[in-house]
Amino acid sequence: MVGWAIAVHGGAGVDPNLPTERQEQAKQLLTRCLNLGISALRSSASAIDVVELVVRELETDPIFNSGRGSALTEKGTVEMEASIMDGVGRRCGAVSGLSTVKNPVSLARLVMDKSPHSYLAFSGAEDFAKQMGVEREENDYFVTEDNVGMLKVAKEANSIVFDYRIPTTGYESCGAGVESPIRMNGLPISVYAPETVGCVVVDSQGRCAAATSTGGLMNKRIGRIGDSPLIGAGTYACDMCGVSCTGEGEAIIRGTLAREVAAVMEYKGLALQEAVDFVIKERLDEGQAGLIAVSKTGEVAYGFNCVGMFRGCATEDGFMEVGIWE
């Protein structure tokens, strides 16, 4: 028996001028999700069940960029993606290109549990959702007023925008108004503040699990797939740890960031926080990202190399923290 631990995130890379009211809304949601997970863990729920439960809650609330409130494509639609992984046997499921599924993380769970595959996308994933009878919504359900306004800003700037939460008024005072040194696959972007969501859990049996969900980039090209549904990049769990990443997806993919945490623990003998720090420093090149992680021994850790990360974590011994900045 080990002590359970849980961590959640709502994205790394936060506009330093984000209004205080929105900061508080984000922290309240993270706290609610943590408490939801804690209650389930105290009731002996398994790690895989808890990560799905928590990410479903995050997807249902429009505060962050997943499920309802997802960022919009260049055509004003949503293309959501998610993945889930059970450290027991390294079982996994992932989905991309969803436009009607209310909770993408649960469809990813069904891919893992009810199909012979690990990853389904676009029309194939939608057909599978119909077959499984999951709850579905019209595309309008996922589109919020904030998203529509941010897409307009992105189109006017002729850019891909990471953050659908930058206010559409007073735009020039936000991080979006500052020329960004960040480049994505060699091309400059104007805003860096992604808000993917994720959860990692180790239960009292030492079983680790991870799940990640996102709407992707605002004004992204139709068909773009990021790191969140990619096992080993945005999500990974094994018998040693569980990891969920957030940030510049292309950099996370190149660095196979989530898997790297497990690899340096296994091959370099690093403790969890040491592994997280090493990966953030050595595996992102010029990319910016963050991640949360738990270990089979009940440790919890996080790290990021950008301005802030929405996160919360708790352990069975009573420790609990919710924060945004360093």
Looking at 20, 60, 73, 196, which residue is catalytic? 196
Verify whether residue 20 is a known catalytic residue. Answer: no
Q: What is the DSSP letter of 205?
A: T
Check if the beta carbon of residue 222 is closer than 8 Å to that of residue 316.
no
Q: With the CA atoms of 99, 234, 8 and 6 taken in that order, what torsion angle do they form, in degrees rounded to the nearest 10?
A: 130
Provide the strand spans (E) within the chain.
Answer: 5-12, 80-86, 91-98, 119-121, 183-184, 187-188, 197-202, 208-214, 235-237, 241-247, 289-295, 300-304, 309-315, 320-323
CA dihedral 199, 197, 9, 252 (to 10 degrees): 90
**Pair of tokens at residue 183:** 């480049």
- Contact present, 222 and 198 (Cβ < 8 Å): no
Neighbours of 27 (CB within 10 A): 17
- Amino acid at the residue 35: N
User: Which has the closest alpha carbon to 190: 219, 151, 159?
Assistant: 159
Coil/strand/helix, residue 108 = helix
Binding residues for substrate: 224-227, 246-249
3 contacts: CB under 8 Å, gap ≥ 6: 204, 298, 315, 316, 317
Q: Is the dihedral of CA 142, 147, 151, 157 positive or negative?
A: negative
The residues annotated as belonging to the active site are: 196
